[in-house]
Amino acid sequence: MSTLRSIPAARPTSGAPGASPRSANGPLGVFDSGLGGLTVVRALRAALPHEDIVYLGDTARVPYGTKGPATVTRYAMTCANHLVARGVKAIVIACNTVSAVAPERLRVELDLPVIGVIDPGARAAAEATRTFKVGVLATAGTIASGAYPRALSACSTRIETYGQAAPLLVPLAEEGWTRGEVPRLAARRYLEPLARAGVDVVVLGCTHYPLLLDVIESEAKALLGNHVRMIDSARAVAREVAAFLENRSLLRDAARGEGSVKLLVTDLPKSFDATASRFLGSNPEGAEQVDL
Ligand code: DGL
């Protein structure tokens, strides 16, 4: 008998008691340490085509995953405050590292809903596993936080979680080095301990990793067999954001037409723009550099 049980959806809150009402036609704010969060923006655009999105990539301070929780929380606050100043109606933390260490602080300090990526990804993994052995590839910060084992055991007490820090995958994704021998060898090295544990599901517990999905998935299949499932939390997050906005009557008026994407970065936008247009499957207007 399965011990799967449902856990509350994403725990978005309206921040401080008496949170001020936001305009449903305001944009959604999304942020990450760099370009990995664009994987979440792509899923949000598919699920919520009428929403305007303001995306902030903190490219001047990437990576977050090698830094301590206090530093990551401080960086996350500056990103979130910048988005609040732009009038966003809710914030999606498109970064596992921030979602692992800072969401409660953001919820307490900001006067608007905050949605992270870890619980939706954990729920999708719990639904996919048959052996109840789940592997998680993530940054060192996310693994050290214990956020995934906590979220997964909240879904099922039978699940054993095997975490593996995979820090080299972040600069490879930022560089656009997503094919060939170098990412293949790095992926294999990080997957080997998960293969020894016999997991049947691998969570891509960092929003940069889906940029390397082809390489990671083919190495995982070579090591673990074709039945292994990859979990990218982007789609699960987008579904939860859509449900949340609908429940709170915060969906943008569809009569206003297709939503826009505004891209902001904290360092030179050039290489970011190339990846952004490749990744969003459209030609968004170039990224604007901002000072936090
Ligand atoms: N995108 C971040 C995450 O999901 C990782 C990149 C970084 O280390 O800053 O954890």
Tell whether 78 and 184 lie within a shared domain.
Answer: no
In a domain, 12, yes or no: no
Distance from residue 96's CA to the centre of ligand 1 (Å): 6
- Statement: residue 131 has pLDDT above 80: yes
The residue out of 233, 260, 278 marking a domain boundary is: 233
Tell whether 135 and 191 lie within a shared domain.
Answer: yes
In a domain, 252, yes or no: yes
The residue out of 216, 233, 250 marking a domain boundary is: 233
261 — pLDDT class (breaks 50, 70, 90):
very high
Q: What is the mean pLDDT of the chain?
A: 90
In a domain, 101, yes or no: yes
DSSP summary character for residue 127 = H
Q: Which residue has the higher pLDDT, 119 or 283?
A: 119
Tell me how far apart the alpha carbons of residues 217 and 215 are, in angstroms, rounded to a whole number. Answer: 6
- Statement: residue 9 has pLDDT above 60: no
Q: Is 97 in the pocket of ligand 1 (CB under 6 A)?
A: yes
In a domain, 10, yes or no: no
Tell whether 156 and 176 lie within a shared domain.
Answer: yes
Tell whether 129 and 211 lie within a shared domain.
Answer: yes
In a domain, 266, yes or no: yes
Q: In the chain, how many domains are there? A: 2
Tell whether 223 and 242 lie within a shared domain.
Answer: no
14 — pLDDT class (breaks 50, 70, 90):
very low
Tell me how far apart the alpha carbons of residues 118 and 184 are, in angstroms, rounded to a whole number. Answer: 25
Joined tokens for residue 44: 């949000």
In a domain, 15, yes or no: no
Tell whether 54 and 199 lie within a shared domain.
Answer: no
Q: CATH number of the domain that 244 lies in?
A: 3.40.50.1860
For residues 115-124, average pLDDT = 95
Q: Is 117 in the pocket of ligand 1 (CB under 6 A)?
A: no
270 — pLDDT class (breaks 50, 70, 90):
confident
Starting from the edge strand earliest in sequence, which strands make up the sheet with 229-232, in order?
160-165, 133-138, 201-205, 229-232
Q: In one letter, which amino acid is 89? A: K
Distance from residue 22's CA to the centre of ligand 1 (Å): 29
In a domain, 1, yes or no: no
Tell whether 215 and 260 lie within a shared domain.
Answer: no
Beta strand segments in 112-185, E: 114-115, 133-138, 160-165
Q: Is 39 in the pocket of ligand 1 (CB under 6 A)?
A: no
**Confidence at residue 7, expressed as pLDDT on a 0 to 100 scale:** 39
pLDDT tens-digit map of 221-249: 999 999 999 999 898 899 999 999 999 99
Tell whether 110 and 177 lie within a shared domain.
Answer: no
Q: Which of 208, 233, 267 to mutate to test the pocket of ligand 1 (most atoms within 8 A of CB)?
A: 208
For residues 92-115, average pLDDT = 94
Starting from the edge strand earliest in sequence, which strands make up the sheet with 288-289, in order?
114-115, 90-93, 28-32, 53-57, 261-265, 288-289
pTM to 2 decimals?
0.89
76 to 55, 61, 65: CA distances (angstroms): 13, 11, 12
- Statement: residue 16 has pLDDT above 70: no
For residues 267-284, average pLDDT = 75
Q: How far is CA 192 from the centre of its chain?
A: 24
For residues 159-163, average pLDDT = 98
Tell whether 215 and 155 lie within a shared domain.
Answer: yes
pLDDT tens-digit map of 169-212: 999 988 889 999 999 999 999 999 999 999 999 999 999 999 99
Tell whether 161 and 228 lie within a shared domain.
Answer: yes
**Confidence at residue 56, expressed as pLDDT on a 0 to 100 scale:** 98
38 to 23, 203, 262: CA distances (angstroms): 24, 18, 12
**Confidence at residue 286, expressed as pLDDT on a 0 to 100 scale:** 84
- For residue 143, the enclosing domain spans 119-233
For residues 146-161, average pLDDT = 97
**Confidence at residue 284, expressed as pLDDT on a 0 to 100 scale:** 60
Identify the burial level of 217 via C-beta atoms within 10 angstroms of its C-beta, where 0-12 means exposed, 13-18 middle and 19 or more buried.
middle
201-205 vs 229-232, strand pairing mode: parallel
In a domain, 6, yes or no: no
Tell whether 148 and 180 lie within a shared domain.
Answer: yes
Tell whether 67 and 205 lie within a shared domain.
Answer: no
